[in-house]
Amino acid sequence: MSELLKIEKLNYSHSLKSILRDVDLTVDSGKIVGLLGENGAGKTTLMRLITGSAHGKGVITVAGASKIAERKSHVSFTEHLGGFSGGTKVGRIFDFYQAVYPDFNVARSNSLVDFLQIDKSLKLSAMSKGMKEKLIIALTLSRQADLYLLDEPFGGIDSMSRKKIINSILKWKPEDSTMIISDHYVTEIASILDEIIVVKDKTINCHKQADEIREDNDMGIEEFYESLYEGGDQDD
Amino acid sequence: MTSFGNLFKSFFKSRFRDMNFLLMINLIAIVVSIIVTAFQGGMSNSVPLAVTLGWSPIATLIAFIRLSITQELTYTRDSYRLIPISDTKFYLANLAASFVSYLYVVVAEAVFYLISAIPNWSEYMDTLNTMSMINGRASFDAPNAIMGSLAIFCLMIAIIVLAWTTINLIHLASRSASNFLPSTGRKIMNVVIYVVVIWLVLRVVGFAMDQLRNSVNMLINANYTANFALNIVVFLVVAAVEAAVSIYLMNNWVETISE
Amino acid sequence: MKFDDKVPIYYQIKEYLYHQIVTGTLQPGEKLPSVRQLAIDVTANVNTVQRALTEMLSEEIIESQRGKGNFVTTDVEGIKQLHNKLVKEQLTLVYQQLHALNLSDDEILSEMKSYMESRDGQHE
């Protein structure tokens, strides 16, 4: 197990507003990490800073690479396919991914498509929310990356799809790779997490082992997470 | 890392499809117009070329606009910007894919001209010869005409490249500036930028049309070619500077649209 | 598998597998599913499953054969001891909780007895 992601003194502001301050974070390889925080806390922003889609001040290193272009080759992010028009056939998107990502793995991709029951002949605009989430997961996991960033992969989808997505994560995550999953509702993924990271008050509020929380605090992850906010209220 | 070639191919593929769709509509419009003319009893040998020439500017303008939109969208979407490649190669692949697609449309239009000129071929050749004679030559001079066409072609290329690098620069500069502006300021700026871009596109297109109109002379007289060379060089130098600034902005400030 | 979010997941996986071994769902000498398959079966992380298995290995309830995977021990005596341990754990739990309700040892015994009799009655 080695250091896979390292963030040092990261600061980010947008539209004259400070979004993240003094973020320092180290995550080892081979982990599944929950990135928790309220809506608008900066979870997505943190992911965008890691992928290089947003520019902050500070150093971000993924698998030894800190230059944005190189970093991109190690990171697979659940992008929401905003670059494709509604009329685009799903199969074409897979073809595009295969053509532009050298780490795209056809065998993985085909089994993911089977497992998640994705219909490649559909048009993007004809997909329901749940289908689209599954498509995004399949595309993201089709790449054999070192760091997977899943941004709220369970947003507004039914429990069957959720189970399928969780199972495909467990099934297809390469052993040495690390996966960061952001969510504002913890319980549904609590059992698969090694660690949790909480973004609160514009920075990393805590970074802990999941089973350590259960052992030391005698609390569930959800309970622990909520307790952080109760504490915050008293401070105000 | 993704190679320039692979990225170019992927960008080009979808734009090529897009352009084929456009050309198909263009062809349908031409055929329908000819049929309508025939029904109205106005059919003659010169109608096909006239109709084709009539639709052509509209088709090429739409092609230019479609490609511009696709190109700008590509700079700001994660679907493309997450691809592991340097910003310089990304910029060039994006520009080159649009450019080659546009070239394809121009060549296709030229083929349309040739085909629609066939019914009235001899008459058009006569006209060319007459025009050459007016300009003091014995007959239509093919090598000279090719040189002239080539010069127009180069000028057109330079204008297209310059138009796109300018649009890129304005777009990317506005994206960069929006990082610093509060949201109301951003909205006002967006409106200003849309107006500027539209004005600029119209100017560039108008200028290009003027140049092409003037350059009919070149088909007959090669002496004009030298003037064009300088124009082209100036255009390309400005385009290169704009491209460099755009790439710098991509590197440091431009963020994708988060959904 | 349904987890109790308050109890460490690796511990719950261990308990779950022990239960299967003791009840014979997993027979002595039987091969365990791969770590990844187990992770999918119980919906937990590979690392967590690995931690559960590591503890089971050190408690000698499973044995690892290099390149082949993990097997339930053929040491029947060991499984018996595990069985006793699990029974004792459950008894301790019941005993403590009944004791907390101010029941004396004798009362606990008689309560248990009448409870079991009433259950038997239901079964008939």
- Ranges of residues in chain A with a pLDDT under 70 are 1, 231-236
Of A173, A192, A221, Cβ closest to residue C5: A221
CA distance C72 to C61: 6
Coil, helix or strand at residue A24? strand
CB contacts < 8 Å between A and B, how many? 84
Give the model confidence (pLDDT) of B56-81 as tens digits.
Answer: 999 999 999 999 999 999 999 999 99
Q: Which CATH architecture has domain C9-74?
A: Orthogonal Bundle (1.10)
Q: Work out the burial of residue B75: count CB atoms within 10 Å of its CB; fewer than 13 is exposed, 13-18 middle, 19 or more buried.
A: buried
Domain layout of chain B by residue ranges: 1-136, 141-259
Q: Give the residue on A whose Cα is nearest the Cα of B76.
A: A83
Q: Tokens at residue A197, please?
A: 């990271």
A203 touches A20 (CB < 8 A) = yes
**Predicted local distance difference test score (pLDDT) of residue A127:** 94
Domain layout of chain C by residue ranges: 9-74, 77-123
**Predicted local distance difference test score (pLDDT) of residue A234:** 44
Name A77's bridge partners: A149
CA distances from B122 to A73, A208, B46, B219 (A): 60, 85, 11, 18
Q: DSSP state, A192?
A: G
Q: What chains are in contact with C, requiring at least 3 Cβ pairs below 8 Å?
A: A
Mean pLDDT estimate for chain A: 92
- The enclosing H or E element of A159 equals helix A159-172
- The enclosing H or E element of A36 equals strand A32-36
Helix axes C46-58, C9-22, angle to 10 degrees: 50
CA distance to partner chain A, nearest, from residue C13 (Å) = 11
Q: Span B166-179, mean pLDDT?
A: 88
- Whether B83 sits inside 8 A of A101 (CB atoms) is yes
CA distances from A192 to A31, A95, A221, C3 (A): 10, 31, 11, 10
- Taking alpha carbons only, the member of B54, B56, C10, C46 closest to residue A177 is C46
pLDDT over 90, % of chain A: 76
Q: What CATH code is carried by the domain that includes residue A147?
A: 3.40.50.300
Give the model confidence (pLDDT) of A141-186 as tens digits.
Answer: 999 999 999 999 987 788 888 888 999 999 999 999 999 999 877 8
C79 touches C85 (CB < 8 A) = no
Q: Which residue has better confidence, B232 or B104?
A: B104
CA distances from B126 to A29, B121, B122 (A): 77, 9, 6
Q: Cβ of B39 under 8 Å from any chain A Cβ?
A: no
CA distance to partner chain C, nearest, from residue A186 (Å) = 10
Q: Which residue has better confidence, A100 or B130?
A: A100
B70 touches B98 (CB < 8 A) = yes
Helix axes B87-117, B4-39, angle to 10 degrees: 30
A204 touches A23 (CB < 8 A) = yes
Residue span of the structural domain in which A37 resides = 3-235
Q: Which residue has better confidence, B216 or B232?
A: B232
Q: Which residues from A are below 8 Å from C40, CB to CB?
A: 167, 170-171
**Predicted local distance difference test score (pLDDT) of residue A108:** 95
CA distance B172 to B255: 9
A40 touches B206 (CB < 8 A) = no
Number of folded domains in chain A? 1
Q: For A155, list phi and psi in degrees, rounded to 5.
A: -60, 115
CA distance to partner chain B, nearest, from residue A135 (Å) = 14
Q: Cβ of C38 under 8 Å from any chain A Cβ?
A: no
Q: Tokens at residue B64, please?
A: 């230019």
Q: Cβ of A65 under 8 Å from any chain B Cβ?
A: no
pLDDT confidence of B172, banded at 50, 70, 90? very high
CA distance B161 to B156: 9
Q: Give the residue on B whose Cα is nearest the Cα of A75.
A: B82
B224 touches B231 (CB < 8 A) = no
Mean pLDDT estimate for chain B: 86
Give the model confidence (pLDDT) of C47-64 as tens digits.
Answer: 999 999 999 999 989 999
CA angle B7, B12, B17 (to 5 degrees): 140
The string of DSSP codes covering chain C is: -PPPTTS-HHHHHHHHHHHHHHTTSS-TTPBPPPHHHHHHHHT--HHHHHHHHHHHHHTTSEEEETTTEEEE-S-HHHHHHHHHHHHHHHHHHHHHHHHHTT--HHHHHHHHHHHHHHHHHHH-
Q: Which residues from A are below 8 Å from C39, CB to CB?
A: 170
Q: Cβ of A57 under 8 Å from any chain B Cβ?
A: no
Complex ipTM value? 0.93
**Predicted local distance difference test score (pLDDT) of residue B225:** 57
Asked whether residue C46 carries a pLDDT value surpassing 60, the answer given is yes
Q: Token pair 């056809």 is at which residue?
A: A106
CA distances from B43 to B40, B54, B116 (A): 8, 16, 13
> pTM of the full predicted structure?
0.88
pLDDT confidence of B138, banded at 50, 70, 90? low
**The dihedral formed by the CA atoms of B22, B28, B32 and B38, expressed in degrees to the nearest 10:** 120
